[in-house]
Structure formats: structure tokens, C-alpha cells
Structure 1
Amino acid sequence: MSINVFRCTHCDTTLFPARYLCPSCGGAEWSAFEAEGGTVTAATAVRRRVGADNGGDIHLASVATEAGPIVIARLDSPVEIGDVVSLALDAQHRIVARRD
């Protein structure tokens, strides 16, 4: 499942997540389109404590989508700043990124 970003039909501001009103012009009409990928702008790992369920680190990245908005995505392995990744939603509706 892909993720959607939203573009204001009045001023073309693109954002994620959706909002009721555009922060740039106050418009309330949006068009949605898929954000299939982007570029990693920051990455980190969240250390899980010993003995926690599903042990291991959780890798996260800030991804600048092709459309502009930045999203936070889970990763299955570490990435580097500048890596190009594809974006999708997993079964729990979390944004996940995979290196292309």
C-alpha cells in the first residue's frame, strides 16, 4: 500500500499528513497523490532494552519525498544520508522505506 501526500488546489502547497486548512493560504480543498519514494535526509536507530519483545534496533529515517514533504519511515536495515528509498505502508499502517 502506498502513501499519499496532499496538494492544496488553491496555492499548490504540498504537505503530509493531511490538514483541514492549508497553512499557506487557508484553502480547504486538496488533491491527493502517491509518494512512491524519496531521499534520506537523516537516519537514526532506536535501541531496544535487553529482554524486550522483538529485540534489536528500530531504524528510522527522515525521507524527503519526490513531492516535497518529509516523512518519518521505519527501515529494515540501516541507510545513509542521500540514499534513495521506496516508500509504502505496512500492515500496521506505518510508513516503511526500502533502499532501491
Structure 2
Amino acid sequence: MTLKVFQCTQCGHTLFPARYFCPSCGGGQWRGCVVERGTVAESTVVRHRVGAHVDGDVHLASVVTSAGPIVIARLTHVMRSGDAVSLDVDDAGCVTGRAF
């Protein structure tokens, strides 16, 4: 699935996730914008998870999307700040990032 961010139809403010009202102008109408790319802002590794049934590290990052909003994405492998990623949404609804 593709990742969608939301743009206010009144003022053009773009955000993720969608809200009832735009924080910039108070408008309540949104249009979905598909986002396929972003840049890693910060990343971290989760090594121990309480109740996890799967072993292995989980790589997470704050990703600045090409449309502007920041999303938290699960990365396929270690990445550094400034690395370009392609973004999509997996079957569980999680945002994932892969290296270009």
C-alpha cells in the first residue's frame, strides 16, 4: 500500500496523521497526497522488546517525507541521517522505509 499524508484544501497545510481540523486555519476538508520518498532525520535500534515473540533488532527512524510531514518508519536495515528512503505501508498498517 502507499503512504498518504493529508493536505488542507483551504490553506494547503500538510500533515500526518489526518486531524479533524487544520491547526493552521481551522479548515476541516482534506485531500490525501501519496508520498513515496523521504529522508531519514534520526534513527534508532530497538534491541529488547517486552512480550516480543520474534528475535532480532528493529530499526526505526523519523523520516521527513517529500511532502513535509515527519513519519515514524520501520526500516529494513540500519540507515543514517540524510539517507533517502522509499516509503510504503505494510499489510499491518505500519509505515516502512527501504533504501533507494
TM-score interval for Structure 1 and Structure 2 normalised by the shorter chain: over 0.9
CA distance in 2, matches of 1:76, 1:30: 31
Task: In structure 2, list runs of 5 or more residues that go unmatched.
Answer: none
TM-score scaled to structure 2, two decimals?
0.94
| Residue equivalent to 1:84 | 84
TM-score scaled to structure 1, two decimals?
0.94
CA distance in 2, matches of 1:32, 1:81: 27
Are positions 1:55 and 2:42 aligned together? no
Task: In structure 1, list runs of 5 or more residues that go unmatched.
Answer: none
Pairwise CA distance, 1:91: 1.1
How do 1:20-35 and structure 2 match up within 5 A? 20-35=20-35
| Residue equivalent to 1:71 | 71
- Structure 1 runs of 4+ with >2 Å offset: none
Pairwise CA distance, 1:54: 1.2
CA distance in 2, matches of 1:3, 1:66: 11
- What is the number of residues matched between the two proteins? 99
Q: Percent identity?
A: 54
Instruction: Give the aligned CA root-mean-square deviation in angstroms.
Output: 1.3
